[in-house]
Amino acid sequence: MGILKSVLLGSKLKILLTAVLALGITVAGAFSLGVLGAPSVGGVQNSFGNVTDETTEIKSDLVVNNPNPVGANLGSVSVTYNVTMNEVAMANGTKRGISIGAGNSTVGFSTEMRNDRIPVWWASHVRNGEQTTLRVDASVREGTLDRTFDAPPIERQISTDIISQFNSSETRPVNANQPLVSDPVAYVNETSANWGDVTDDETPIEMRFEVYNAKTMPMAITEIGYNITMNDVNVGSGTTDREHVIEGKTSETVEAETAIENDRLDEWWVTHLENNQVTDLRIDFYAKIEIGGETFRVDLEEMSYEKTIETDVFGTKGETDAESSVDGSDETTETDDAAPTETTTDDSETTDEADDSDEGSDSGEDTATEGENTTTEDDGLL
């Protein structure tokens, strides 16, 4: 009797294994013959999630298209995505074990970007003329037949214009606000600026001021100091010690180099995202001026530079979940002022690889005389 049961059980097991093997061969054959279609990526959308002092969450929604009439728990199917900005890796990961229904299914997952690497992208953005190319690549791999299908790449251009507003021919007075000194002591007739040579450590801004000495005696500018803030985060401060002497009733170009310290940009980045990708940039100046043997400090309030920087890195800012859509189209969008609710599946895994009395009558007429810018493992982000 025991022998009979063993034989019967062995037969059933053999039949079951044979059936499973036959089904596997049939499914593989169906795929190879085109009877069953292989899944593909129909589109991808990214957005920023939670941000902390150290990390930034990047949420990703991928539309996976299953051309077959029934859904499946596709254990052999994995989706790989790659997000770069000027070829700087922002996110790189793979999601395996996808459960999808027939037609289009949205696969949602998230990963983290390390904020301390933001300076890498910033340097590339400034070196590239304040232009960033965001590129998102995605592909789906069917493990059974070892085939990979690429989704159409998505590209968009992110542009900012941070320092061009500093280029101005507006005449501005310089007031000493000192006793026994009549104001203004000088006029700034023109200002201009451009980015200097960007390094991994700093982003220089080279500035020039056309200064007219409103007095009859020589004026010496012995020092110019500056302070740069972005959303009230101090990202640079310093002084220039080059002396400029301007003869009375004449003009001279005064040069000053300021610099954004890149290692402070991770702190700024947090405020930028918390403020809906909007930044208020401000540069304040002061000067030490010597006239007639007396030196005094002047706050150059009329010279303060302010600029609002706004970005929409992924092109999804302001969208609600209902408005957000992933259509899979290869679209390029440019923003003049410039990088969804997370869903997870229990059977999936995500891994990541990867800036005076008689002289008191001096007026603006003098200025015209001289001169007039699931599970996540994080390793491969940024």
DSSP letters spanning 39-95: PEEEEEEEEEEEE-SSEEEEEEEEEEEE-SSS-EEEEEEEEEEEEEETTEEEEEEEE
Q: What is the mean pLDDT of residues 13-29?
A: 45
pLDDT higher than threshold 90 for residue 242? no
CATH for 39-160+328-354+373-382, among 1.20.1600.10, 3.40.50.300, 1.10.1060.10, 2.60.40.10? 2.60.40.10
Q: What is the pLDDT of residue 341?
A: 31
* 271 token code pair: 């405020």
Long-range Cβ contacts of 28-33 (<8 Å, 24+ apart): 28/144, 28/145, 31/142, 31/144, 31/145, 32/145
pLDDT higher than threshold 80 for residue 346? no
Q: What is the pLDDT of residue 154?
A: 82
Q: What is the mean pLDDT of residues 102-120?
A: 85
Q: What is the pLDDT of residue 249?
A: 97
Q: Tell me which of 361 and 174 has the higher pLDDT.
A: 174
The segment with the largest mean pLDDT, out of 111-120, 196-205, 324-333, is 196-205
Q: What is the pLDDT of residue 153?
A: 81
Dist CA 3 CA 282 (whole Å): 89
Q: How do the domains of the chain map onto residue ranges?
A: 1-36, 39-160+328-354+373-382, 164-310
Q: What is the pLDDT of residue 374?
A: 33
pLDDT higher than threshold 70 for residue 251? yes
CATH class of 164-310: mainly beta
